[in-house]
Structures are given as C-alpha cells and as structure tokens.
Structure 1
Amino acid sequence: MPSFRTLARFGLLLLGLLLLCVSVWWHWPRRPATSATDSLSATAGPVLPPPADNRMRGVNWVAADSASSTDMEPLVRAHITWIAQTPFGWQAAAAQPEIRLHTGSAKGGRGGYWGESDAGLIFTAQQARQRGIKTLLKPHLWLRNGGTWPGDINMTTSADWQAWFTSYSTFILHYAELAEANGLEALCIGTELEHASVAHEKEWRALIRQIRKVYHGPLTYAANWSGEFEQIKFWDALDYIGIQAYFPLSKTTAPEKAALLAAWQEPLRRIEAVHKRFKKPVLFTEVGYKTTPDAAIEPWAWPDRMAVVTSVDETTQRVCYEALFETFWTRPWLRGMFIWKWYPGLQPDGPVRRHLDFTPQHKPAERVLAEWYGR
C-alpha cells in the first residue's frame, strides 16, 4: 500500500500538471472577432427565421459581375429577407426626353455590370429565392450630363414631357414584364423623379394602370425625403408609400443617440401625416449612413474619397442605425426598409473606400441591423 508521503507527492504532481494546463490555455493565442460579422457568427447560434410579420427586411443590393448562393449567406445570418435590385435607364441630360434601355451587360452606358442586365437580375433573384430572400425590382435613371440626380430631370415644353413619359413608359413596362415573368415579389415604378411625379399626376395614374395590367405584385414609388413624398397625389393608386429616407438629423459631427432620437420626431410627424392621409403603409426604399463623423448631417452625401484625411467613425454609423430602428421599427404602419447598401462578397479587409461608405458590412452597424431584423 502506498505511503502517505507517496500519495502526497502524487497529489502535488497532479496539481502542478493542472496548473500548467490552465496557464497554457490562458496564454494560448486566440483569433479575435475582427468584424461585426465574425462576432455575429460566433454568438448568434443557429440562424432562425425572422418573425412572420410580413415586413420587408431589406438591403439595396449592389450589382456585380456574378452572383452565387455563397453571396447570400451573410444576408441570411443578418435576418435579411429582401434585396432591392437596380437596373438603369440612361438619359442624355436633364431636359432631354429620350431614355435608353440597356438590357445586356458590360456594353454601352457606363459599362454596366452583369448584375444590372436582364440575365443578371433574374439569376440573382433566383439565387436569393433559394435562400428565402425576395426581390424588389427598383429601376433608376442615370443622367449622363446636365444633372446630378434624377430629381434634376425637368422638361421645358409640354411636348417634351409627353415624349419623356412615352419613353419612360417603355422603360418601366419592360421591367414590369420582367418582374412578372420571373416572379419578382415587388416593383418600384420610379425613383426621385420630383418634377415628373409632383406636377404630372394624370400621367402617373395612367402609367400605373398600364403597369397593373402587366405586373400583378405590389407597387411602390421611391420619393425623395426633402418634400416630394408629401406632394405626390397618386399614393392611393400604389400599395406602399415609398420614401428615400435620408433626412438630415444633425448639424454637428458625432452626435449622441439622444439628439438623433429627438431630431427624428419632426420627420416622423411628417411621415405619419402622409400615412394617415392615404391610409397606406410606409416603406423606406432607401435609408442608410456612411461610416464618417458627419453621417447624420447630410445622409445622402457620399464620403469625399479625394480628401487627404477622412476619419472612419463606426460609432456614429452605429448610433444612427440605433436611432433609426428605435424610432420606426415598432410603428405598425411601417412595411419595412431597405438599407443602403450591400456589396456581395465584401470581405473584412476589402477596399478602404468601402469602409468609409454606406455599407454596414463588417461593422458594428451590421450587428444593430441583424438584431432588429431578427425581432
């Protein structure tokens, strides 16, 4: 039988080995959670479907030269259930009525991406649908010169307006037919066409009737935040009141969340007034914030990529997201929102310019998005 001294030595040896194991474990190098997505994947556990409240948990999808099921996985992890796809029509200048339609890829225009072509739109929607993600087709117009955004489009004569609506009808009806033939789940019939939308109610109602004959899914229009959404008179003919929700919320950089929540109250009042007037749900067709200290001052403005020094500010972007969701997500009249914007295949160590711009990917804002979309 072992002596007491032998047992004591054996016990001390075991204790020493245990302490050595603890020390090695404690000091062993670990891979840090280097991004919002890493943290999300590490702690979220199994991906659960979002609540069945029929809300559109969306992002604006950036067209690329390909699309695959792998590109959809980050969307699933973030509880995103919709993507908005954006093909373009090309207009020579703000006062030129002709709109050119490019349905192919990488030819003409500004060298359009495959993802903006008919084939790319359809394939991307199919890839998304396999993961339970629906598509809002959201065609835009691009001005080659003589304007900076679609809100500049403004004809100078009645004849030119008639020609513009004829051309625009050909453009949008093409995409209505594409959406119908391929089962795309929603269609946006126009984006930020302020002069056309406000002063030409009759023409839009006639166009909506034409679209309804071709496409049988829900329709919206994406009106600018600055006042267009309050002046449109044909919301009753659509299914959702669509708003490009880039409301300015601050005059200073790096605002506190309390200040942002207070600043949202006036836009909230204006949005609710339009909702009550037309009794239609509201959809934020675009909303988002860049990753800079001035993100809440002019939310629609892209970061200055030519600046010598531009500060990356993930905290301000995150706080803007928190204020947005806390203000709107519990409103029963909110149909959903589409965050601007989402790059397929973007890696944590991707281009620096992407880290400054609007995407929430691999940033704390993505965690905020995923938490609210998962509710």
Structure 2
Amino acid sequence: MLLPAMPSSAVAFRRWRLVFLVLLLAVVAVAVWWRWCQLPPQPTNSARAPSSTSLPRADNRLRGVSWVAGDSVSSLDLEPLVRAHVTWIAQTPFGWQAGAATPEIQLHTGVGHRGYWGESDRGLTLTSQRARQRGIRTLLKPHLWLRGGSGTWPGDVKMNSEVDWQRWFASYSVFMLHYARLAETSGMEALCIGTELQHSVGHEAEWRALIAQVRAVYHGQLTYAANWNAEFEQVRFWDALDFIGIQAYFPLSATERPTKAALLKAWQEPLRRIAALQRKVKKPVVFTEIGYKTTPDAAIEPWSWPDRTAVLTTPDETTQATCYAAMFETFWPRKWFQGLFVWKWYPGLQPAGSARRHLDFTPQHKPAERVMAAWFAK
C-alpha cells in the first residue's frame, strides 16, 4: 500500500533541523576541545618522564634552543624542533628590577608587562607540557629585566652597600623560589638559578643558601648561567650545582667574514679556559646560550644585537653557518661537554619573515639550522 507523499515543506523542515543539530554538536565538540587544550598539566610524580615514543638520545646531551614566548603554543610550533633533533627548550620568564642598584625585584606570574602569555606561569606550564608530549624537555631560565636608570643588562646589577646586597638576595630568593616551585609542580627537568649576575657571585654564602632552599622544593637539575668573560671562572659554587652553565658569546674575530679555520683557531683559548675549569670542579659544561647574528660581523661581538634600523643590510647566512660549524667542531666531540641552547627560536616563524628578523640570531630557515640539526643528530 502506498503512503501519502510528505509535503515538501515538511521535508525541508526536517532537513534543516538535522543540519542545525549537526552544527550544534560540532560547536559543542570544538568548545570542549578548546577547554581541554587550555588546562594546565596536573602535577604527578612522573611528570619529568618523557614519552616512551620519543625518548632523549642515549648520550643525554642537551640539544636545546632558547624558546621565544608567544601568545600560544601548539604541536605545529614544536614540529620544526623535532625535525631538527632538538630535545630541550629554555623558557625565560622575567623579574623586574627598577635599576641596577635597586634591591627589590618584582614578580609577575600572570601576563606580565611585556604582554607575553608564554612568560606567565600558565604559559610556561602549558608550553612545557606540549614540549614533553613531543619528547622535548624544559630548562626554566628566569632572567632579570632592568627597567630604567643605570644599567641595561643583569651584569650591571650591583648594590651600593652590604645591607642592600642582603635585601637584594632576600628579594631574589622569593623570585627564584617561586619558579623553583613552578618547575617542580610542572615537571620541568632543569632550572637555572641565575643569569649573568656577575657582581653577585662573590657572595658565595648567599648563593649556597639559595641553592639549598631551591633543592628543598625542586628535584630536577640545577645550573647557573655565567657570562663568557671572566664570570664563569669566578663562580665558587659550581660544586653545589649539576652542571656548569656558560653564556658563550666569546669574541672570535676582529674582522668580518672569518674563515672556519680562523674561527677554529680562535676557539682554542676559550676552550683551554673552559676545560681547565671543568677539570677543577669535575662538572659537565653546557652553553646555556650561544648564537650568532646573520651578519658579516657575527663573530666580532657575538653578544651584540643587530642594528634594528638596518633593514637594508644584506644578511650573511654563510658567516652565521660558519660560526655554528666551528663551535660544534670544537666542543661537540668533548665528553665533558653536555650540550647547548641556541639563541634563539621563534615559534611559527615563516621563511619570508621581516628583513630585521632575518638579520637576527635565529638559525631558522637558514644554513645554520642545517648545521645545528646535523650535529644534534649525531
């Protein structure tokens, strides 16, 4: 028996209702997924264990880059690191100091004055979680930012009296212990307790006291990032840390476009000094920062930023890559050399970036990246 045909209006209504329900379910699914993505990882005793599908290399070296904080992080941002055999990132939150002689440090745990989500506690935690999912570990490396007055970098921090030094260490300890607890609860694998604070390292007792406080709340590896000049040889508390950290911006040339042979020869004196310290304290060495601009003068003053107004300057990718090659050839074969963090890495950076960025320190999309990846793969 034939059923009467349904009116066309009723058919259309049922179709639109079905479309509406499908769209509603899709919106709900996306909302649930987005909420899940924003949740920080729950602290666990095994948080530092890497994924079994992406274990670090057997030699356990730190194949690292200095990660630039942004407003988000995704698996797509981390994929280029995996391809380049990177196994560590350094994340850098900031404490704020009004001047080089000001003994108070301001701590900002949310989105700070620079406005970068990736420097907030939430951003640091989520970035380390995302990295761990790809087999990449985290060195948490808090820095001080001098806001104004005298001094422009942490190496200028210097108090005017012993009383002020004690006030500074008390304030700095609050700052560092916050990040030690964050590193512990987030499962970050290493913590740098200070960076380039060269005038402070003579206060050995204060640093040892801070290290003991940090050890009480954090159970990963500890280091200090000493400047390349004389600071790394002046630190007297290396024995209380797990490895020697050096900001390795050693000047290697007096001229532009040096050859690799010239750079290899220039590295011999810094190598001698570093090896002598390593023999003395019997700790492995890590370059907590090393990098070169994409400019002809990259090896003259490696710590110096490129002229930000020099957008018409022709980049020199060859010199940058040559600097990388000479550095790796000098240090990677040394058994006591435990790794390095390349300065620096911009998540999501496209090959056709700005002219200023192309002069920058990053090796991304340049021959230097291929040099780095080849050595990291060894």
CA distance in 1: counterparts of 2:147 and 2:256, whole angstroms: 33
Q: Which amino acid aligns with 1:190?
A: G
1:49, 1:374 within 8 Å by CA — same for their partners in 2?
no
Aligned to 1:39: none
1:250, 1:296 within 8 Å by CA — same for their partners in 2?
yes
Between the two proteins, what is the percent identity of the paired residues?
72
Once the 2 structures are TM-superposed, how far is the Cα of residue 349 of structure 1 from its aligned partner?
Answer: 0.7
Report SS of the residue matched to 1:188: strand
Aligned to 1:28: none
Report the more deviating stretch, 157-166 or 47-56: 47-56
Q: Which amino acid aligns with 1:338?
A: F
State whether structure 2 residue 237 is matched by structure 1 residue 231. no
Alpha-carbon spacing, 1:364–1:308, altered in 2? closer, same or farther (3 Å) = closer
Aligned to 2:330: 327
Report SS of the residue matched to 1:194: coil
CA distance in 1: counterparts of 2:239 and 2:62, whole angstroms: 20
Aligned to 1:175: 179
Select 1:203's aligned residue among 193, 198, 206.
Answer: 206
2:84, 2:372 within 8 Å by CA — same for their partners in 1?
yes
Aligned to 1:14: none
Once the 2 structures are TM-superposed, how far is the Cα of residue 52 of structure 1 from its aligned partner?
Answer: 1.3
TM-score with structure 1 length normalisation?
0.85
CA distance in 2: counterparts of 1:193 and 1:306, whole angstroms: 29
Once the 2 structures are TM-superposed, how far is the Cα of residue 352 of structure 1 from its aligned partner?
Answer: 1.6
CA distance in 1: counterparts of 2:242 and 2:319, whole angstroms: 34
- TM superposition outliers: structure 1 runs of 4+ over 4 Å: 47-50
Select 1:315's aligned residue among 313, 318, 328.
Answer: 318
Map residues 153-302 of structure 1 onto 2, 5 A cutoff. Answer: 153-197=157-201, 199-302=202-305
State whether structure 2 residue 357 is matched by structure 1 residue 354. yes
Across the aligned residues of Structure 1 and Structure 2, the Cα RMSD in angstroms comes to 1.3
2:56, 2:135 within 8 Å by CA — same for their partners in 1?
no
Aligned to 2:154: 150
Report SS of the residue matched to 1:196: coil
CA distance in 1: counterparts of 2:314 and 2:269, whole angstroms: 29
Q: Where do 5+ consecutive residues of structure 2 fail to align?
A: 1-52
CA distance in 2: counterparts of 1:89 and 1:96, whole angstroms: 13
Alpha-carbon spacing, 1:213–1:333, altered in 2? closer, same or farther (3 Å) = same
CA distance in 2: counterparts of 1:326 and 1:214, whole angstroms: 38
Q: Which amino acid aligns with 1:324?
A: M
Once the 2 structures are TM-superposed, how far is the Cα of residue 50 of structure 1 from its aligned partner?
Answer: 6.6
Once the 2 structures are TM-superposed, how far is the Cα of residue 354 of structure 1 from its aligned partner?
Answer: 1.2
2:103, 2:171 within 8 Å by CA — same for their partners in 1?
yes
Report the more deviating stretch, 360-369 or 50-59: 50-59
Q: Deviations over 1:13-55 (max 9, x none)?
A: xxxxxxxxxxxxxxxxxxxxxxxxxxxxxxxxxx997741100
Aligned to 1:124: 127
Q: Which amino acid aligns with 1:56?
A: L
Select 1:340's aligned residue among 327, 340, 343.
Answer: 343
CA distance in 2: counterparts of 1:207 and 1:97, whole angstroms: 16
Aligned to 1:100: 106
Once the 2 structures are TM-superposed, how far is the Cα of residue 154 of structure 1 from its aligned partner?
Answer: 0.2
CA distance in 2: counterparts of 1:338 and 1:308, whole angstroms: 27
2:310, 2:356 within 8 Å by CA — same for their partners in 1?
no
1:61, 1:85 within 8 Å by CA — same for their partners in 2?
yes
Once the 2 structures are TM-superposed, how far is the Cα of residue 203 of structure 1 from its aligned partner?
Answer: 0.4
Once the 2 structures are TM-superposed, how far is the Cα of residue 112 of structure 1 from its aligned partner?
Answer: 3.0
Q: Which amino acid aligns with 1:256?
A: T
Once the 2 structures are TM-superposed, how far is the Cα of residue 293 of structure 1 from its aligned partner?
Answer: 0.1
Q: Which amino acid aligns with 1:62?
A: V
Q: Which amino acid aligns with 1:364?
A: P
State whether structure 2 residue 58 is matched by structure 1 residue 52. yes
Report SS of the residue matched to 1:317: helix
Once the 2 structures are TM-superposed, how far is the Cα of residue 311 of structure 1 from its aligned partner?
Answer: 2.5
2:198, 2:227 within 8 Å by CA — same for their partners in 1?
yes
Aligned to 2:92: 86
CA distance in 2: counterparts of 1:51 and 1:156, whole angstroms: 47
Q: Deviations over 1:141-186 (max 9, x none)?
A: 0000121100000000111101000000000000000000111000
Q: Deviations over 1:175-211 (max 9, x none)?
A: 00000011100000000000011x2001000110000
Larger RCO (CA under 8 A, 6+ residues apart): 1
